[in-house]
Structure 1
Amino acid sequence: MTGQHVHAQENHDESPSAWRDVDRYFTESLVHEDEALVAARRSSSRTTMPNAEVAANQGALLALLAQIAGAKRVLEFGTLAGYSTIWFARAVGPDGHVTTLELEPQNAEVARENLVRAEVSDRVDILIGSATESASRLIDSEAAPFDFVFIDADKPSNPQYLAAALELTRPGAIIVIDNVVRNGAVVHAQSTDPRVHGVRSVTEDIAAHPNLDATALQTVGIKGWDGLILARRT
């Protein structure tokens, strides 16, 4: 009938296995993960946090966000095997630069191998040591402002990383914070998990900052139930 819409009955599967199937479908359809990225993802087994890298579709999202923002200088908190670092290095192009902060020398060595394999090592600097201290040195050295910041390191330090990111960027910069949903635990103010408190604290800091516009998105998929905060300096 005119003006009416008939919707076919569908079966909805909301299980984690369905999340993974959907991720695989869209990744296989839309995301090109070449041999260098596959090798980097697999090499995470040699890091101190195996399988902690972003999923392929999330890596592609980060690269697209950086390109949409016109980013040429990216700062990354947390390197691991360099999987997301490769996505960023390719997004900024040969005239761009990525600075990535990694606590563990073991992880930095794995990342270096992967960056060389991906042929982007010439546009990436890995700073080894405490990310807070490395960021402080960048601030003290008056490093050129970054256009895009990805925070994906130890969650209790998220507020400190945000503060450093604000020192190291200028208006128009994008800040993305990963792993903020914590399987839904983020809503529990009485949680004893310091990672949850790190997320809640940084969320409060962003909400209170007069020059940050932000939102958060939940994600489900190969990496389970999580999400990210996306903020822009005004």
Structure 2
Amino acid sequence: MEARKMEETWKAVDEYFEEKLKTTDDIMDHILKETDDAGMQQIEVSKAHGKMLYLMAKMAKAKSILEIGTLGGFSTVWLARALPEDGRMATIEADPNHAEVARRNIASVELAAPVDVIEGQALDRLPKLMERGYSRFDLIFIDADKENNVEYLKWALKFSHKGSVIIVDNVVRHGRIIDDTETQAIPYIRQMFDMLEHDGRIESTAIQTVGQKGYDGFLMGVVK
């Protein structure tokens, strides 16, 4: 009962922020509805975290953004909104149905030009980004299958420059990150932290979060 009350409080606080800080609007609500109507899992970032990504891209003055894991384009649109007029964004999505929903959502808010939705497995598409005219990114957001987090992070570092911001979502998993007996996604997330422990190219931290999406967290780093 206590846990349920706590979750209700988290949700109410998110709703308070939504009202006071405008962490959503009609466009973003429409994207969420389109994603839901398409029968997709509601595993996108929360409204507050979507706006957080937007603000982080703004603070980083990002002109080029890479996203690994598009889903329905909710986080994609938040990030793309932060781009200047001459900015560019590439987002990679493995599921063709998800990619199509994302394209529709992005086009509906007139962001199709600066956003390149790339369909296919990320580890197949990342090596070919240079052929599409991408070389370095100012901000990289990783929110895809956790089994490949280490490889995604390696690619993120390859596509980074000094000052690039790298964000990885879902690194706490209801606190299971510290359970070394977990056999699902946790071992792969822990491998990523093991890599970061010894990699001198990036300064990073991890933040635990609660809210409408439950208890989780994200990793944030700046390339040195």
Quote the residue 2:153 is aligned against. 162
Measure, in 1, the Cα distance between the counterparts of 2:37 and 2:70: 13
Measure, in 2, the Cα distance between the counterparts of 1:181 and 1:48: 26
Does 1:212 pair with 2:211? no
Does 1:71 pair with 2:71? no
| Aligned residue identity for 1:76 | E
With 217-226 and 205-214 compared, the bigger mean Cα shift is at 205-214
Quote the residue 1:231 is aligned against. 221
- 1:51-104, Cα deviation, whole Å (9 max, x unpaired): 111111100000101110111100000001100100111101322111000001
Quote the residue 1:19 is aligned against. 10
- 1:193-215, Cα deviation, whole Å (9 max, x unpaired): 1x111211111111211111000
1:53-202 matched pairs, under 5 angstroms: 53-138=44-129, 143-193=134-184, 195-202=185-192
- Tell me how far 1:140 sits from its aligned partner: 6.5
Structure 1 residue runs of 5 or longer lacking an equivalent are: 1-12
Structure 2 residue runs of 5 or longer lacking an equivalent are: none
Q: Are the aligned partners of 2:66 and 2:141 in contact in 1 as well (CA < 8 Å)?
A: yes
Q: Are the aligned partners of 1:37 and 1:118 in contact in 2 as well (CA < 8 Å)?
A: no
TM-score by length of 2: 0.94
Quote the residue 1:45 is aligned against. 36
Q: Are the aligned partners of 2:204 and 2:221 in contact in 1 as well (CA < 8 Å)?
A: yes
Identity rate, percent: 36
- Tell me how far 1:34 sits from its aligned partner: 2.5
Secondary structure in structure 2 of the residue aligned to 1:183: coil
Kindly tell me: are residues 46 and 211 of structure 1, through their superposed partners in 2, closer, same or farther at Cα, counting changes over 3 Å?
same
- Structure whose CA Rg is larger: 1
Q: Are the aligned partners of 2:177 and 2:189 in contact in 1 as well (CA < 8 Å)?
A: yes
Measure, in 1, the Cα distance between the counterparts of 2:178 and 2:196: 16
Q: Are the aligned partners of 2:17 and 2:23 in contact in 1 as well (CA < 8 Å)?
A: no
With 29-38 and 49-58 compared, the bigger mean Cα shift is at 29-38
Quote the residue 1:8 is aligned against. none
Measure, in 2, the Cα distance between the counterparts of 1:91 and 1:155: 26
Secondary structure in structure 2 of the residue aligned to 1:172: coil
Secondary structure in structure 2 of the residue aligned to 1:54: coil
Q: What is the alpha-carbon root mean square deviation over aligned residues?
A: 1.6
TM-score by length of 1: 0.90
Matched length: 221
Measure, in 1, the Cα distance between the counterparts of 2:202 and 2:5: 34
- Tell me how far 1:31 sits from its aligned partner: 2.1
Measure, in 2, the Cα distance between the counterparts of 1:47 and 1:180: 27
